[in-house]
Amino acid sequence: MLRLSEIKLPLDHADDALRAAIVAKLGVPDAELVSFTVYKRSFDARRKVMALTYIVDAEVKNEAKLLARFARDAHVQATPDMAYRFVGAAPKDLAERPLVVGFGPCGILAALVLAQMGFRPIVLERGKKVRERTKDTWKLWRNHELNPESNVQFGEGGAGTFSDGKLYSQIKDPRHLGRKVLEEFVKAGAPEEILFVGRPHIGTFRLVSMVEKIRAEIERLGGEIRFQSKVGDVLLEDAGDGRHAVAGVVLENGETLASRHVILALGHSARDTFEMLHGRGVYMERKPFAVGFRIEHPQKLIDEVRWGPHAGHPLLGAADYKLVHQAANGRAVYSFCMCPGGQVVAATSEPGRVVTNGMSQYSRAERNANAGLVVNINPEDMPGDDPMAGVRLQRELESRAYELGGRNYNAPAQLVGDFLAGRASTSLGSVVPSYQPGVTPTDLSGTLPAFAIEAMREAIPAFAKKIRGYDMADAVLTGVETRTSSPLRIKRDASLQSLNVKGLYPAGEGAGYAGGILSAGVDGIKVAEALACDMLGIAPAV
């Protein structure tokens, strides 16, 4: 099979144009092209005439001859082997079942791969099954009622369940593990296009049923998933080499589960569990993250600037954007988790705090575009030098937002025009904010550190030079966006085990090793493989 890249065609090309372009690129008669599949399709919106760019895998006659002819052409190569291969198989008389704490993308993929290898993992998830969890989440969005154990952050599917479901990442992935994640998602009901479109997304609604299907598959393979099973403690023993070794976990209801292999796929909001692990001496460090607001514009404005005359084209969908500004005070301001045609969501997991994030449905058909507008926070900005310092800062900012919002889970909001002019908002304009349960117009400048406000006031007009209208006076800022990534890292060694606790595998976003659904899933596969290799006594996969 040959992989051809950089095949460019106009947006509205004829059905047979791609075949013709492949044949032309290879310089062969049509009959020599046996078949082809699209590996990736993306578009280049920077050009005056918008083009689709394809990467295709082509089956041809005389493949060796063509490979030799194109030996110096980086755009014609042999298709790499992307098949996933398990590192091993569990013995029939499996003596010990591994534990997976957390059933977000990382825990889901870790448990699935362990189950596929026959290790019959036991998953412990503090939240509820996804449909019950959805009802609890709506209670916050509709009735101002938060359930601290069942919300946007906690429960089956993890933090990404109520999301835009963006499925791309910039991680290095030489073993094509991201492909394995996407293929499992397709088996569970995701649209097949996620395998080939440049920036795939699935939206909230489909994620719910996919997560249920993967749960059923893990159970079919002998795994077990326990909901409302919060891990409140870890059992540690002396490993005899200066380290500890994990011997099991204790649930909040007092039940003990013994295992020498425990994956911690906690997510970035498991602050109580981080505190417990820190108290037990599990090694962790502060880590940079970012804080800011959500910004909402009419989606039409973004579409027109990004797609120009092609706005509304079915292949393009609602336009996204990615913006970065280096402010004069040394801070980077950037857009984060942009959700085209989506809504801003209440994403707190703790009482008395307000947190924003964004989600969308597959159709991305809501009237507003939203994105986090965030500023980097470095360890020296945090109150204290212990590993929990970033969590303390997040909590402080989230509490301020709760107070300013009116102490009822409404979010504080400000019009961009007022924010730039340094005056409080007292009413809203033409952009209707989508945050539920509601917003309170106010002055957001007291919710974040002064350097962040200063950097954002500089960045918004700079972004308007790239997206005309970005600084529109009626655009809405909603605060605060604090859960951008984990504020700490639970460090691990080359075998992916905790630096000082043998058998403990910190993984995914909470441990500081992923940022997003796809990378968390990839990390889940990696720790599952490392754990399996350790149990089987074989060399880890590279």
* Cα 535 from Cα 96, distance rounded (Å): 9
Among 55, 56, 66, 101, which residue interacts with ligand FAD (rule: CB under 6 A)?
Answer: 101
Question: Least separation, in Å, of the C-beta of 255 and ligand FAD?
Answer: 12
Length of the chain: 542
* Among residues 147, 273, 299, 343, the one that binds ligand FAD under rule CB under 6 A: 273
Q: Are strands 51-60 and 2-10 parallel, antiparallel or unpaired?
A: antiparallel
The number of residues that bind ligand FAD (CB under 6 A) is 44
**Sign for the pseudo-dihedral over CA of 210, 212, 216, 221:** positive
* Nearer residue to ligand FAD within complex by CB, 182 or 514: 514
Indicate whether 158 belongs to the interface with ligand FAD (CB under 6 A).
yes
- Per CB under 6 A, the segment of 89-97, 391-399, 407-415, 511-519 that binds ligand FAD is 511-519
SS3 at position 358: strand
DSSP result, 119-143: ---EEE-SS--HHHHHHHHHHHHHH
The answer to the question of residue 112 lying near ligand FAD (CB under 6 A) is no
Asked whether position 125 contacts ligand FAD by CB under 6 A, the answer is yes
Piece in contact with ligand FAD (CB under 6 A), picked from 89-97, 320-328, 409-417, 517-525: 517-525
Handedness of CA 110, 116, 121, 127 (dihedral sign): positive
Binding residue for ligand FAD, selected from 231, 393, 444, 475, defined by CB under 6 A? 231
154 binds ligand FAD (CB under 6 A): yes
421 residue type, one letter: A
Q: What is the torsional sign of CA 340, 342, 343, 348?
A: negative
Closest distance to ligand FAD from the beta carbon of 119 (Å): 19
Are residues 97 and 260 in contact, defined by beta-carbon separation less than 8 angstroms?
A: no
> Binding string to ligand FAD for residues 490 to 509, with x set by CB under 6 A, is what?
------------------xx
Q: How far apart are CB 243 and ligand FAD at their closest, in Å?
A: 22
Nearer CB in complex with ligand FAD: 165/412: 165
Q: Is 160 in the site for ligand FAD (CB under 6 A)?
A: yes
CA–CA distances in Å: residue 240 to residues 236, 243, 455, 537: 12, 7, 51, 19
Taking the complex as a whole, how short is the minimal distance between the CB of residue 386 and ligand FAD, in angstroms? 20
Residue 65 in tokens = 């001859």
- Burial (Cβ within 10 Å: 0-12, 13-18, ≥19) of residue 29: exposed
Quick check: 121 binds ligand FAD (CB under 6 A)?
Answer: no
Which residue, 56 or 291, has its beta carbon nearer to ligand FAD?
A: 291
Question: Considering the complex, what minimum distance in angstroms separates the CB of residue 251 from ligand FAD?
Answer: 8
Q: If binding is defined by CB under 6 A, does position 162 make contact with ligand FAD? A: yes
Assess 265 for contact with ligand FAD (CB under 6 A).
yes
Considering only residues 2, 22, 197, 266, which one is a binding residue for ligand FAD as defined by CB under 6 A?
266
Torsion on CA atoms 531, 534, 538, 541, rounded to nearest 10:
30
Which of 36, 54, 103, 409 is close enough to bind ligand FAD by CB under 6 A? 103
Q: Is 321 among the residues that bind ligand FAD (CB under 6 A)? A: no
Query: Checking DSSP bridges between strand 231-238 and strand 244-251, what pairing results, if any?
Result: antiparallel
Cα dihedral: 280, 350, 262, 186 (round 10): -160
Task: Pick the closest to residue 371 from 439, 420, 322 (CA basis).
Answer: 322
| Residues binding ligand FAD (CB under 6 A) | 101-107, 124-127, 152, 154-155, 158-160, 162-166, 230-231, 265-267, 270, 273, 337, 345, 347, 357-359, 508-510, 514-518, 520
